[in-house]
Amino acid sequence: MMDWTDRHCRFFFRSMSRRARLYTEMITAPALVHGDVDRHLAFDPAEHPVALQLGGSDTRELAHAARLGERYGYDEINLNCGCPSQRVQTGSFGACLMAEPALVAECVRAMRDAVSLPVTVKHRIGLDANEDYGFVRDFVGTIAQAGCDVFIVHARNAVLKGLSPKENREIPPLRYEVVRRLKLDFPDLVFVLNGGLVDLDAIERELAFVDGVMIGRAAYHDPWLLSGVDARLFGEAAPVATREAAIAALVAYAERELAAGTPLRAIARHVLGLYHGMAGGRRFRRILSDAARLHDADVSLLTEAAAGTGL
């Protein structure tokens, strides 16, 4: 979800669910050591609960980044051991770390020693053609000994060479049974299933076997999916009853952001899927993706786009 789940996206998502835990895009530890910390970590208090996902393999850098995350008020620190992109591999981040469980354990210990927040790990179920259950079982066991008790598991192998990140989300087969088996073998640990979940029926079905689920692109492309989470899974009313109410909440946020110098396009790009599959959805997307109109537009463009959707 790099370049997708930024603070504007997360604020928008939060308007549709109070209970879903939000995650940042992966932010590399070196970027926080050497870069603009506020640009990477600032977020709206309305986003809580929100987790900071880090990429890295240097224990000192990760400890420093975790301390910054705690200082900024995040609720969780998550280490990404699942991203298969070549760019991430070059920096020894992401899925390639599954081949070095002892190093991941050191990273987890360093972050746990640095902060009082929960430190969690996101990973795949295997690397390349290795589908041996023992590989992921031993990975989880090693990291658990370092004090990690929450594992977010993308139920596909990561193919490190030969497949693009997009292909890595589609070609390696989903094997939910592996995550279910992990839960049986480590009943005291928390397992969150990720990968291929696109509707609330599928989510509810898998929750019979695991402790939680994570959805990414399905929610990004169809954000209204989140509006059913609170009622269906937590027995609570959703924050908004209509898509128009979600837009209204975003307008107030966008007014503040535009006053601070944020361009409308930085916010509008995350909203394009709100009317996915609905009457007027194509018109909505066309208005909010028109570069010429976005260049000089104010927040009224958001309400204009929502008008005439037929909902």
What pLDDT is recorded for position 214?
Answer: 97
Calpha distance 8→95 (Å, rounded): 27
Q: Look at residue 310 in the predicted model and tell me its pLDDT.
A: 52
Distances (CA, A) of 31 to 42, 135, 180, 210, 235: 14, 31, 35, 34, 40
Q: What's the CATH code, domain 243-305?
A: 1.20.120.1460
Architecture of domain 7-216: Alpha-Beta Barrel (3.20)
The structural domains of the chain, with segments of one domain joined by +, span 7-216, 243-305
CA distance 120 to 80: 9
User: What per-residue confidence (pLDDT) applies to 280?
Assistant: 86
Token pair listed for 66: 């975790």
| DSSP code per residue over 79-108 | EEE----HHHHHTT-GGGGGG-HHHHHHHH
Give the Cα separation of 83 and 94 in Å (integer): 4
Q: Does 243-305 match 7-216 at the fold level?
A: no
**What pLDDT, on the 0 to 100 scale, is given for residue 91?**
56
The pLDDT of residue 163: 80
Burial class (CB in 10 A: 0-12, 13-18, 19+), 141: middle
* Contacts with 15 (C-beta within 8 Å, 6 or more apart), sequence order: 239, 240, 246, 249, 250
Residues written for the chain: 311
Residue given tokens 């992109």 in the structure block: 85
Residues belonging to the active site: 83
Q: Is-contact 53 81, C-beta < 8 A?
A: no
Q: Which amino acid is at 251?
A: V
**Distances in whole angstroms, Cα of residue 68 to Cα of each of 114, 178, 251, 292:** 10, 34, 30, 38
Local confidence pLDDT in tens for the 311 residues of the chain? 667 899 999 999 999 999 999 999 999 999 999 999 999 999 999 999 999 999 999 999 999 999 999 999 999 999 999 988 766 555 577 889 999 999 999 999 999 999 999 999 999 999 999 999 999 999 999 999 999 999 999 999 999 888 887 788 888 899 999 999 999 999 999 999 999 999 999 999 999 999 999 999 999 999 999 999 999 999 999 999 999 999 999 999 999 999 999 999 999 999 999 999 888 899 999 999 999 999 888 999 999 998 866 54
What pLDDT is stored for residue 115 in this prediction? Answer: 98
pTM summary value: 0.94
Does residue 230 contact residue 237 with C-beta atoms inside 8 Å? yes
The predicted pLDDT at position 160 comes to: 86
Distance between first and last Cα of the chain = 29
Q: 27-30 long-range CB contacts below 8 Å, 24 or more apart?
A: 27/52, 27/53, 27/54, 27/55, 27/65, 28/54, 28/55, 28/56, 28/91, 28/93, 29/54, 29/55, 29/56, 29/58, 29/61, 29/62, 29/64, 29/65, 30/56, 30/58, 30/61, 30/91
**Dihedral (Cα; 75, 77, 78, 80), 10-degree rounding:** 140
Per-residue pLDDT, 311: 45
**CA-to-CA distance for 59 and 166, rounded, in angstroms?**
29
